[in-house]
Amino acid sequence: MGLATVWFILIAVLWIGYFVLEGFDFGVGMLLPVLGRDDIDRRILINTIGPVWDGNEVWLIVAGAGTFAAFPEWYATMFSGFYLVLLVILLALIARGVAFEFRGKHDSDRWRRGWDRAIFWGSLIPAALWGVAFGNIIAGVPIDARHEYTGNLLTLLNPYALLGGLVTLGLFLLHGAVFLSLKTTHELRARARAVTLRLAPVVALVAVLFLAVTQVMYGKTVTLITSALAVAALLAGIGATIRHRDGWAFTATAATIILATGTLFINLWPNVLPSSTAAANSLTITNASSSPYTLLVMTWVAAIFLPLVLLYEGWSYWVFRQRLTRPPS
């Protein structure tokens, strides 16, 4: 296995980690106005992700940096072609991060409601647009012989990509609701479970439709198995929620995201950004990668520091594993 393939797999793992971890805190942010009946409820909901949300975003930073260093052609073409979409995502993430930090700086209901709206939209917009972006990466975009994007914003808003946006939006909402069932108690937990069960049929339907279309249009033999496993994991998560097994339900929704995202990357390989103009113009792990020496140095750096990051993040989740509850009235 060449180093370019190793780094393609590593970048896939980073995106999977980002979607699993950031997915549930996007879900919490989107559910803030739904489950938070008063300011105490909303404070508890925010506190469930307070110690980890910024750490979850590190996965995105590392995935972007890894792509830039390992596959500069992929990075350049994708970031120039998807510029407006990625700019909107970046602005939404900035607004969301500022809202978390500033929400409690002033004792005013109006002040807090304004920042709560920023958290809601700063969670919803990236949750949907990441699906749109990855839908286009899988389907391919117009790229000329110089590996330059030749489409426009409307090119990216095609039916398949929009369906992908609905899938990530729905999966992250469901993942967040299950996470809140795991992290809260009493009435908040009951409300989170109720939302999970209402969301589940719709999310399952959209996810099955997207995976089926992906399999028919871009699928490989092995992804038929991973797609089926993703659907099975989603159904298992719903069943675990019905049986009040919150830990198993969260594990199952995480597995759904892992398998679904893994399916997309398996379908993408050996391309990194297919061209819808001509197959010869596609970016692949071969023609988009850095030099072997660069990849070798990056591999040693990743081998040393990635386990340390994983250990630290795992420790953080362990320390803040307790459920949160309302203080006595």
Summarize pLDDT for 294-318 with one digit per residue, the tens: 889 988 888 888 888 888 888 888 8
Residue 1 has a pLDDT of 62
Q: What is the pLDDT of residues 246-292, one digit of tens each?
A: 999 999 999 999 999 999 999 999 999 999 888 888 999 988 888 88
Residue 329 has a pLDDT of 62
pTM: 0.93
Q: What is the pLDDT of residues 6-44, one digit of tens each?
A: 999 999 999 999 999 999 999 999 999 999 888 888 899
Residue 37 has a pLDDT of 84
With beta carbons less than 8 A apart as the criterion, state whether 85 and 133 touch: yes
Residue 2 has a pLDDT of 86
Q: Which residues of 176-194 are buried (b: 16+ CB within 10 A; e: fewer)?
A: bbbbbbbbbeeebbebbbe
Q: What is the pLDDT of residues 52-102, one digit of tens each?
A: 888 888 888 889 888 998 999 999 998 888 889 999 999 999 999 999 888
Instruction: State both tokens at 277.
Output: 């103009």
Residue 107 has a pLDDT of 82
| Number of Cβ atoms within 10 Å of the Cβ of 113 | 13
With beta carbons less than 8 A apart as the criterion, state whether 321 and 30 touch: no
pLDDT at 328 over 80: no
Q: Is the dihedral of CA 6, 288, 221, 129 positive or negative?
A: positive
Q: What is the pLDDT of residues 172-210, one digit of tens each?
A: 999 999 999 999 988 889 999 999 999 999 999 999 999
In CATH terms, is domain 3-319 a member of 1.10.760.10? no
